[in-house]
Amino acid sequence: MTISEENYIKVIYHLSLVSPKGVNTNAIAGMLDTKASSVTDMLKKLADKNLVTYQKYQGVTLTENGFYAAKMIVRKHRLWEVFLVEKLKFSWDEVHEIAEELEHIKSEKLINRLDDFLGFPSFDPHGDPIPDENGIIKKMDKHLLSEAESNVEYHCVGVKDSSAEFLQYLDKQKIALGSVIKIIEKEEYDKTLSILIDGKKIMLSNKIATNLYVQ
């Protein structure tokens, strides 16, 4: 696949996690900042390669080959993020764009050795699962902090929003994967939370709480 084709496959994969019955071409165009007509042309190419099933006005789904290809792209991206954070000491808000470039490296041997070198991690620095070399993804029982119960200790295990701005905000609040969080009070009006984070009391907006995963 070309880099452009890989980008399309990955976007369709992520969108299919919330729209398993079919991904809308306009949604793909929005994610890739391109025209719907360009998306349609690419989907025809991917269908010819047996990577997607596409019918006009009915959306697109990945074939079995497409799902596997997408998972391998995601696998490379997330392994590189682990490498950049753990071995090269990048911060978690810096690695996404670099990994976007590294994920297109074709060598399967290199990626499998990278996986071995890193100790076969199951999750990336943002808490997202890393597919293994067979495309198997480890499941994690997690839910959003906004849905959590009061006076129960949770551990932060991931982020829904992995933008640099959000991650930098979490850094300012000293919130990281593994942080212990307990909700002390929920404001009924705007759902603002008063929480203890590793023993320190802070206030979190509903917007922040709906982008933090806990377990």
Q: What order do you get walking across the sheet with 180-186 strand by strand? A: 143-144, 212-214, 153-159, 180-186, 193-197, 200-204
Asked whether residue 154 is domain-assigned, the answer is yes
Is 30 part of a structural domain of the chain? yes
Residue 136 lies in a domain: no
pLDDT of 59: 86
Looking at residue 55, its pLDDT comes to: 82
pLDDT > 70: percent of the chain: 100
Contact predicate 160/213, CB 8 Å: yes
Residue 54: give the domain boundaries.
3-62
Task: Specify the number of domains making up the chain.
Answer: 2
| Highest mean pLDDT out of 25-39, 51-65, 80-94, 131-145 | 80-94
Is position 73 within any domain?
no
Output the pLDDT for position 114: 98
Q: Quick one: pLDDT band at residue 58, thresholds 50, 70, 90? A: confident
**Quick one: pLDDT band at residue 209, thresholds 50, 70, 90?**
very high
Percent of the chain with pLDDT over 90: 90
Which of 62, 83, 102 lies at the terminal end of a domain, its last residue?
62
CATH number, domain containing residue 45: 1.10.10.10
pLDDT > 90? residue 30: yes
Last residue of a domain, one of 14, 29, 62: 62
Identify the domain boundary among 62, 84, 99: 62
What CATH number should be reported for the domain holding residue 205? 2.30.30.90
Q: Give the CA angle between residues 23, 26, 31 to the nearest 5°.
A: 85
In a domain? residue 105: no
Q: How far apart are CA 183 and CA 181, in angstroms?
A: 7
Inside any domain, residue 93: no
Average pLDDT over residues 182-200: 94
pLDDT, residue 172, reads 94
User: Which pLDDT tens digit goes with each residue over 60-100?
Assistant: 999 999 999 999 999 999 999 999 999 999 999 999 999 99
Which residue type occupies 86? E
- Of the candidates 96, 93, 78, 179, which has an alpha carbon nearest to the alpha carbon of residue 138? 78
Asked if the model's pLDDT at residue 142 lies above 80, the reply is: yes
Query: Is residue 114 domain-resident?
Result: no
At 139 the pLDDT is 87
pLDDT band at 124 (very low <50, low <70, confident <90, very high): very high
- The pLDDT, as a whole number, for residue 39 is 93
pLDDT score for 140: 86
The structure tokens listed for 128 are: 């997202």
| pLDDT exceeds cutoff 90 at 57 | no
Query: Residue 191 domain-assigned?
Result: yes
